[in-house]
Amino acid sequence: MRARWATLLESPEDAARIARGVAAGGAAAMLPAFGLHLIFAAAFAGVMGGSLPVAAAVCIALGNPLTHALLLPAEFALGRLLLPPRLEILPTHGPAWLLAGLPAAEETLVGGILLALLVGGLSWYLAHRSLRRREAKFTLHEPVVLYLNGPINSGKSSIGRALAALLPGAVFLEGDDHGLPASLPREKRWAGALQRIATAIATSKAHWLVVAYPLDEAAYRTLCAACAARGARLRVVTLAPPLEVALTERGGRALSEAERRRIPEMYAEGYADRPFSEQLFDPSGQTPAESARKLAELLELPVRP
């Protein structure tokens, strides 16, 4: 069980999603909702944007028949302390067998809801703190793929090169250098670039691999698998300057008409706001070197002095 839990925490999902999943599972487990705990855990994870597998695992660990043998009396006692003696929040009419259990059900429900709020909040705090601390502890034995996503002309290549120069032993990989003819359809060139990046992840001996190329959900899953196979950590940063900035000719780059048409499409398709991004970063008004330094600071990277 410990090994499976460790595997969940090593998933490519970011620390914030995992912490919210822990909170969702912990809160659902406290509710006196017999047989419905996993449904509540899934609902809470969906509303909070948490990891569903983590929420389910925490819910099962905390909310099983053995733990509820202790939780239910505690919830009843807590509700009895909180509810005024004559307050009635459940139906007062119905079958005698149902009415006989309602006073205990009222108090257990109130106690369970309060316990769910307390345990959910505490679970989130402890998980968030623990995962952030773990993320900050980079070891020399753990390769890291630092992926710069973003639309065309967002600064991926220039900032990626500057960032690779700051990191010890880093290698920069330009996704556009895939060697495929420009006459190929965009989808085939994109697939070729993705294959080249996945191969580089599998074969590179560098501790830091900095990659610059647009990324969508399907490609993200492919890269997660490639990183997991190598035992590398994938960290995604999305460069998101305002659209009007991306349409200007920055850094000496002359935009073609095709690029000018494609840039607004990429913003509409979500390339500047990927949900799997660890950091959204606007490099407007900064040089590539300044942006690289700022990103290194935000991500707590061990840069060269």
Tokens of 293: 């330094």
At 98, which helix (H) or strand (E)?
A: helix 96-136
- CA–CA separation, 52 and 56 (whole Å): 6
**Hey, where are the domains in the chain?**
2-136, 144-299
Q: Model confidence at 87, in pLDDT bands (50, 70, 90)?
A: low
pLDDT more than 70, % of the chain: 83
The β-bridge partners of 233 are 144
> For position 74, what pLDDT does the model report?
84
- CA–CA separation, 86 and 102 (whole Å): 13
Q: What is the dotted CATH code of the domain comprising 144-299? A: 3.40.50.300
Q: Which pTM does this prediction carry? A: 0.57
Q: What is the pLDDT of residues 205-259, one digit of tens each?
A: 888 999 999 999 989 998 998 898 888 999 999 999 999 999 998 767 788 898 8
Integer-rounded Cα Rg, in Å, for the chain is 25
